[in-house]
Structure formats: structure tokens, C-alpha cells
Structure 1
């Protein structure tokens, strides 16, 4: 799993570097964070890369990979769950409930 996440993060970084149109949105992602798009409306969340070490977040990514794969042609990592579910998972990690 770690190897696939590393490849995904590398591809996201390469795509960001190649596209001048996405460089404006890349500016608002601080070092040590990455952007994901959640739900049908593709709401953008910027989250710490440290979450990649959290079992709940890794499990979520594994489920997304198993069901949908990581080959997203529309750019960015898309997590197809509700914004409420995603917020609950992220809030649990940030409050120490993991």
C-alpha cells in the first residue's frame, strides 16, 4: 500500500508541475499537505500528509483504491464518499480519536 500511495503522490506532484493552469491552485497547498476532492461536488480539502500514517485514513484510501482505483483523469485524488463522512474521519484524526 505504501508504494502505491508514494506513486500516487508522485503523479499528483508531477501533474501539478506540468500544468500551468493548476499552479495557481497548487500555491494554496502548504508544504506537508495535499489536496483531495470529496463527493459528487468534488469539494476540495487540503489535509496534512501526516494523515497518510493514520490507520483510518489509510483504510479509507485502500477502500477507494479497491473500488475505484487511483487513475483519475479529471485531476487530483477524488474520494467518492459524502463530505460529512470525510469530515468525520478527518475530524477524528485531528482530535486524536484515531
Structure 2
């Protein structure tokens, strides 16, 4: 059930956060199939590509819940923004890489 909730949440966030024009979208198609672009950081945001398989992991779902609590479906960067420190994000994703 949690996997389904995370997938639905990610789709809703991405669907509602597309605020850029078609021209901008067509030039930013550098996300490979099977990956998701996210913006991470508290003050200055950095873009990361993460495998969509992370959406099933409880630790990544916790980050998505934090994003939902802070931004709802209105992400200031025009994409999925995760409001945590870069260090926290890297800790979580490095643990997921070991799985």
C-alpha cells in the first residue's frame, strides 16, 4: 500500500509542478528513462537524478512526504523539490544504492 501511495504522490507532484513552457520542457529532456529529476536543498537547490525504483523505499517515501507537507503540489523550482539538506539526501540515497 505504501508503494502505491508513493507512486501516486510522485505522479501528482510531478503533474502539478509542471509550470514551464513547452519550449523550456523540450530543451530539458536530459532525464534518462527510469530516472526522476529532483531538486534538493534548503536555501540553494541542486538537481539530482534518482532511479524511480527509489520510490518504493520507505526512506525515500519519507522525503516525499516531507516535500508534500512543505509544498503540497506547488513546487517553486517547477519540479519535485525535496526540502532537506543535500547531506541528508545523499545519506538516504547512498543507503539505497547498497540495497
Q: 1:4 aligns with which of 5, 9, 13?
A: 9
Contact 1:17 1:23 in 2 (8 A): no
Map Cα deviations across residues 57-95 of structure 1 (whole Å, 9 max, x no partner): 011111221233231143011111111110110111011
Does 2:47 match 1:79? no
Deviates more, 1:72-81 or 1:41-50: 72-81
Relative to the length of structure 1, the TM-score reads 0.79
* Structure 1 residue 9, shift from structure 2 partner: 3.6
Relative to the length of structure 2, the TM-score reads 0.78
Q: Where do 5+ consecutive residues of structure 2 fail to align?
A: none
Q: How many residues align?
A: 93
What CA RMSD, in Å, does the superposition of the two structures yield over aligned residues? 2.2
User: What residue in structure 2 maps to residue 31 of structure 1?
Assistant: 33
Classify 1:71/1:32 alpha carbon distance in 2 versus 1 (closer, same or farther; 3 Å): same
Does 2:72 match 1:69? yes
